[in-house]
Amino acid sequence: MPEEVAAPPHRPMRADARRNAAKITAAAEALVSEQGADVSLEEVARRANVGSATLHRHFPSRRALLEAVFRERVAALCATADGLLAEPDAGRALTAWLRAVATHAVTNRGLGTALTHDGSTEFGESCHAMITAAGDALLARARAAGAVRPGVTTVRLLKLVGAIALATERDTDGPAEAEALLAIALDGVRAR
């Protein structure tokens, strides 16, 4: 019977490697916001001030890098929702979070599409589930406070914000236009 070989123990990343990974992710995040998800990996390496080999050592594929960027953005969006749970005005908290979702969606500039173009949906579904759960908590508080009209669901709100982001992503000032459209839409969400 063949002897099984144990995998080597996972060693923690060295400090300089962690810094490089963080620089690459930050550069990719900024460039995706500026240029969209088709940004050149060479440009990411240049902006991060690392070599192409360093970039590929940390992120062996474009998808791995884009997933890291998206994962960080989703985590930040969920952290924003958690922080807003302490806001005394539940309606204001929900509105603030929906504005954060709009900013998230506008700055992604095709990132979600790029991550699902090959038909794989597991990553996108897990991120969507995290965002939905964060929104559910805020919506439940707003509903209990009578701040939203009946029939409003987190999924519907996310679709609404996503549609606004899609409609404005090519505008010269997409974030400002998204904010203006979101203000109009949120007026229809509030309880009368």
Query: What does the alpha-carbon distance between residue 70 and residue 105 come to, in Å, rounded to a whole number?
Result: 11
> Which one, of 132, 153, 70, 133, lies nearest residue 104 by Cα?
70
Query: What does the alpha-carbon distance between residue 71 and residue 135 come to, in Å, rounded to a whole number?
Result: 17
pLDDT in tens, 151-162: 899 999 999 998
Q: Which residues contact 36 (CB under 8 A, 6 or more apart)?
A: 109, 110, 111
- Domains annotated on the chain, with CATH: 1-60 (1.10.10), 69-189 (1.10.357.10)
Beta bridge partners of 190: 148
- Residue 84, amino acid: L
Q: Which residues contact 7 (CB under 8 A, 6 or more apart)?
A: none
Q: Are 87 and 171 in contact (CB under 8 A)?
A: no
**Would you state the pLDDT for residue 4?**
52
pLDDT in tens, 24-67: 999 999 998 888 888 899 999 999 999 999 999 999 998 899 99
Q: Is the pTM of this model over 0.75?
A: yes
Count CB atoms within 10 A of the CB of residue 89. Answer: 14
Q: Are 42 and 62 in contact (CB under 8 A)?
A: no
**Which tokens hold the place of 35?**
């240029």
Is residue 152 helix, strand or coil? Answer: coil
Residues of the chain falling short of pLDDT 50: 1-2, 7
**Would you state the pLDDT for residue 117?**
66
Q: Distance of alpha carbon 41 from its chain centroid, rounded?
A: 20
Is residue 190 helix, strand or coil? Answer: strand
CA contacts within 13 A on the Cβ side of 8: 3
